[in-house]
Amino acid sequence: MSVRVSLGQLAVSDDHAANRHVVATAFRTAAAVRSQLLVLPEYASGYDPAGVGREHAEPLDGPFVTMLREKARAHGTAVVAGTTLPGASPDRAVNAVVAVDATGELVGAYRKVHLYDAFGHRESDRLEPGPVDAPPLVLDVGELRFGVMTCYDLRFPESARRLVDAGADVLLVPAAWAAGPGKADQWRTLARARAIENTAVVVAVGQVGRGVTGRSLLVGPDGEVGLELGTDPEIRTADLDPAELAAVRERNPSLANRRYAVVPRG
């Protein structure tokens, strides 16, 4: 049976209450087409192009994740969304992605391992990284297993491979992909690369607005782009067929043929 997935490409502000309203609307839109999973961007709870830090952090029992759980349960729609959690020290926060199942249960939170210290940005000035040896975050919906990573992780093949080793058929990549020369092309190229090398579906959902790229993608396990959004807020839905994924992996058994494993580096 296919799994219906909605890509929620949203514009996110630093107004947390307003963002919760936007996310609630996205849930209604996804539920109207009977979507089983809604994927939202990185930092969906609150975002500032100048940098996200401790002032944006909410605990897992705070307003944003509580709302996700309530809406997931009310609509029977699982959700994966970026948020910001308090850090271990008072001046730091954690860039995280949470997964909530269709009953409203919090499956887990992935704390971003690769902080975006590149292209003139320094997430590490405000954020602390997640533990490299944390168990991979995976979410089962229907007959597919979804693995969670985020944004800058897309540049690190090991992150995707570790999720595939945990059984992921689909890689979910919530992002606030920074805009700039060549960045949209890199976003598209990297999403296709992670799909091809892992014979996995990639669902890469970006924010739109000032300083970010948008252009959310759904890439098949053969690297073909099946869905590509523009630079405006939009919600699009697609059906993912486990049989089609299995057929690609049978024709191209590269996962079975590999000779190296991925292990955390301290």
The residues annotated with a catalytic role in the active site are 42, 112, 151
Q: Are 235 and 30 in contact (CB under 8 A)?
A: yes
**Which residues touch 229 (CB under 8 Å, ≥6 apart)?**
7, 9, 214, 215, 216, 217, 236
CA atoms of 160 and 173, how far apart (whole Å): 10
What number of residues does the chain have?
266
In the numeric block, the tokens 């190229």 are attached to 189
- 151, 181, 192, 219 from 227: Cα distances, Å: 18, 23, 12, 7
Strand ranges, E, within 126-168: 138-141, 144-148
CB atoms under 10 Å from CB of 260, counted, come to 6
Neighbours of 51 (CB within 10 A): 14
SS3 content of the chain, % helix, strand, coil (to 5): 30, 25, 40
Beta bridge partners of 208: 11
Phi, psi torsion values for 97, nearest 5 degrees: -125, 130
Instruction: Name the token pair of 210.
Output: 């000032």
- Which of these, 32, 65, 74, 27, lies nearest to 46 by C-alpha position? 65
